[in-house]
Structure 1
Amino acid sequence: MILGYTADQVRAAEAPLLARGERLMERAAMALADEIRSVLARRGSDPGAVLVLAGSGDNGGDALFAAASLASRGVDVRLLTTGLRVHEAGLAAAAAAGVDVASREAEVGSDAFAALAEGIDVIVDGILGIGSGSSPALRGRSREVVETLRPSVLRRIAGAPGVVAVDLPSGIDSDDGSVPDPCVLPALVTVTFGAVKAGLLLAPASGLAGRIRLVDIGLGPGLEGVEPRVSVDGTL
Structure 2
Amino acid sequence: MVHGWSAEQVRAAEAPHLEAGEPLMQRASDGLAEAVRGLLRDSGRWPAPVVLLVGSGSNGGDALFAGAGLAADGCPVTVVPTGSRVHEAGLAAATGAGAVTDDPAAWDTPEGAGRRLQETGAAVLLDGLVGTGTSADPALRGRARDVVEALLPSLRQPGAPAVVAVDVPSGVGPDDGSVPDPAVLPATLTVTFGGHKAGLLLEPAAGLAGEVVLVDIGLLPDLARMTPLVTR
Q: Is TM-score (shorter-chain normalized) higher than 0.5? A: yes
Q: Secondary structure at the match of 2:148?
A: helix
2:96 match: 96
Counting matched residue pairs gives: 229
CA distance in 2 between partners of 1:86 and 1:79 (Å):
11
Matches within 5 A, 1:85-234: 85-101=85-101, 103-107=102-106, 108-109=108-109, 116-118=116-118, 119-155=121-157, 157=158, 159-232=159-232
**Structure 1 unpaired stretches of 5+:** none
Answer whether contact 1:79 1:116 (CA < 8 A) is retained.
no
Percentage identity across paired residues of the two chains: 55
User: Bigger shift: 31-40 or 166-175?
Assistant: 31-40
Name the aligned partner's letter for residue 40 of structure 2. L
Matches within 5 A, 1:40-79: 40-79=40-79
Q: Secondary structure at the match of 1:196?
A: coil
Provide, for residues 153-209 of structure 1, a one-character-per-residue CA deviation record: whole Å limited to 9, x for no partner. 233x3x211100000000000000000001100000100000000000000000000
Cα distance change of structure 1 residues 215 and 136 upon mapping to structure 2, 3 Å threshold: same
Name the aligned partner's letter for residue 227 of structure 1. T
Q: Secondary structure at the match of 1:137?
A: coil
Q: TM-score, normalised by structure 1?
A: 0.93
Deviation at 1:46, TM superposition (A): 2.5
Deviation at 1:151, TM superposition (A): 1.6
1:23 match: 23
Answer whether contact 2:60 2:130 (CA < 8 A) is retained.
yes
CA RMSD of the aligned region, Å?
A: 1.6
Q: Secondary structure at the match of 1:68?
A: helix
Deviation at 1:111, TM superposition (A): 8.9
Answer whether contact 2:198 2:229 (CA < 8 A) is retained.
yes
Answer whether contact 1:169 1:208 (CA < 8 A) is retained.
yes
Answer whether contact 1:28 1:215 (CA < 8 A) is retained.
yes
Cα distance change of structure 1 residues 43 and 177 upon mapping to structure 2, 3 Å threshold: same
Cα distance change of structure 1 residues 204 and 229 upon mapping to structure 2, 3 Å threshold: same
CA distance in 2 between partners of 1:114 and 1:230 (Å):
38
Q: TM-score, normalised by structure 2?
A: 0.94
Answer whether contact 2:109 2:147 (CA < 8 A) is retained.
no
Answer whether contact 1:106 1:113 (CA < 8 A) is retained.
no
**Structure 2 unpaired stretches of 5+:** none
